[in-house]
Amino acid sequence: MQIPVIQKVLAANDLIAEELRAQFENAGLFVVNLLGSPGAGKTSLLERTLERAGGMKMGVIEGDLATSLDADRIARFGVPVVQINTGGGCHLDAAMVRKALGSLDASGLDVLLIENVGNLICPAEFDLGEACKAVVCSLPEGDDKVLKYPAIFSLASAVVLNKLDLLNYLNFNLPDFRRHLAELNPDAALVELSCLTGEGFDRWMEWLELEARKAREPGGGSRSPAQCRE
Amino acid sequence: MQIPVIQKVLAANDLIAEELRAQFENAGLFVVNLLGSPGAGKTSLLERTLERAGGMKMGVIEGDLATSLDADRIARFGVPVVQINTGGGCHLDAAMVRKALGSLDASGLDVLLIENVGNLICPAEFDLGEACKAVVCSLPEGDDKVLKYPAIFSLASAVVLNKLDLLNYLNFNLPDFRRHLAELNPDAALVELSCLTGEGFDRWMEWLELEARKAREPGGGSRSPAQCRE
């Protein structure tokens, strides 16, 4: 009984997601669906990204079960931001994003960053109309995460490996992590950085700027998500 | 359409869970459902627990989307262990545990530790017939996790705060974390420890021994999960 219903839910979600994708592409707006475990550093990545946004105009949609803690952190940067609270829901869906866009002035934005609920599993299944999915993973989570959560890593256009500053205090095998990702998803851009020290952050900003520029080019938005890679 | 079906799935799950709970209680077997984010240190907690098991006979059920990496780690301790792979599934359910018990010789065991899929949301909803839920959380995940994932923390009989060894390298407010948990779930036993250094581990073993002893007492198993607390 359960599976057909879930397929129907996913099909309904995909219709709304395609609507959103067309809307984003027409506006030349580059949209990233940011995924990762609780505490991987998704909000910290957004904070550092907004600090360095330069000429790029950015907006943020925050997803959490409860609280507006993350949107409060983002609001301090003076950018358009909306908090979605899912109640108990384990992922964002396209209808939630469509509704949130009603409260967010996206006109003139270059980049919209959607921080999904902290969960390395369920959010992978729900298209939000984004151009790219980026997975944020952090060193303390361990070097086996690509092997143990392959679905989400296989869909990522970029993988941000955060908390590089802790490398000397952990038993984390960086070559193993790189190899697992290269074997599962060789097209994903791997960006190793620390949101705390800023190490490696230039590389993330370069990726974001390049993709945002592509989205603004005529016909740039019509590429498939798979092309949203280096 | 979706909600009634999910309620039916949960009701079906609860029937199997009650069957399992009666079976565990008759056997005087103390069963813990171990929950937490990917990389919180659930498997490391099990490894250190097995090292210190002393007179307690323990078995383990491992849950993961993919791989038998965790069961391989546990098998080195020579205890009964079964790996469940959920495919894409974001949680264990009671039927999976019942099936796994067919491959695990639980006779003579005092404690059965079930490591759930790494996920701070969905596993909270599925009763596995356990006596207690224990949530493993770690310092690098941040001090706001109780506020942002209240459902799972409110169900915990014990909360293990792991990776205490990293306290000096992180911006983690320990008094805040303690206060959030005390306000949400004052009955939960909070155990702060490091699986790496062993600091604080005695307290976890004391909790486990006390609860396992209660489960062996006549009528001890008949207490409600809410009583499985200090």
pLDDT bracket for residue A151 (50, 70, 90): very high
The tokens for A180 are 């697992």
CB contact under 8 A, B140 and A144: no
Nearest to B38 among A5, A37, A66 (CB): A37
Give me the sign of the Cα torsion angle B106, B53, B36, B22: positive
pLDDT for residue A106 is more than 50: yes
CB contact under 8 A, B90 and A119: yes
Contacts of B92 in chain A (CB under 8 A): none
The ranges assigned to domains in chain B are 2-228
The lowest-confidence range among A71-85, A113-127, A144-158, B4-18 is: B4-18
pTM of full prediction above 0.95: no
pLDDT of B99 = 97
Cβ B46 vs Cβ B115: under 8 Å? yes
What confidence tens digit (pLDDT) does each residue in B40-58 have?
999 999 999 999 999 999 9
pLDDT of A219 = 66
pLDDT bracket for residue A230 (50, 70, 90): very low
What confidence tens digit (pLDDT) does each residue in B127-148 have?
999 999 999 999 999 999 999 9
pLDDT of A26 = 94
Residues whose CB is less than 8 angstroms from the CB of residue B189 and which lie 6 or more positions away in sequence, other chains included: B157, B158, B159, B207, B229, B230
Alpha carbon B183 to its chain's center: 21
pLDDT of B7 = 81
Q: For all residues of chain A together, what is the average pLDDT?
A: 93
Q: Given 3.40.50.620, 3.40.50.300, 3.30.450.20, 3.40.190.10, which CATH number is that of B2-228?
A: 3.40.50.300
3-class SS at B67? coil
Please name the helix (run of DSSP H) or strand (run of DSSP E) that holds residue A148, with its range, or none: helix A145-148
Nearest residue to B43 (alpha-carbon basis) of A90, A145, A138, A35: A145
3-class SS at B63? strand
pLDDT of B230 = 39
Q: How many residues does the structure list for chain B?
A: 230
Nearest to A163 among B5, B140, B145 (CB): B140
Nearest residue to A141 (alpha-carbon basis) of B92, B133, B118, B120: B118
What confidence tens digit (pLDDT) does each residue in A197-229 have?
999 999 999 999 999 999 888 766 544 444 554
Nearest to A88 among B117, B119, B151 (CB): B151
Dist CA A4 CA B18 (whole Å): 27
Dist CA A126 CA A109 (whole Å): 24
Please name the helix (run of DSSP H) or strand (run of DSSP E) that holds residue B147, with its range, or none: helix B145-148
Q: What is the average per-residue pLDDT within A51-75? A: 96
Phi, psi for A124 (deg, rounded to 5): -60, -30
Could you write out the DSSP letters of every residue in B111-146? EEEEE--SBSSGGGG---S-SEEEEEEEGGG-TTHH
- The residue among B6, B13, B68, B144 with the most chain A CBs within 10 A of its CB, best to mutate, is B144
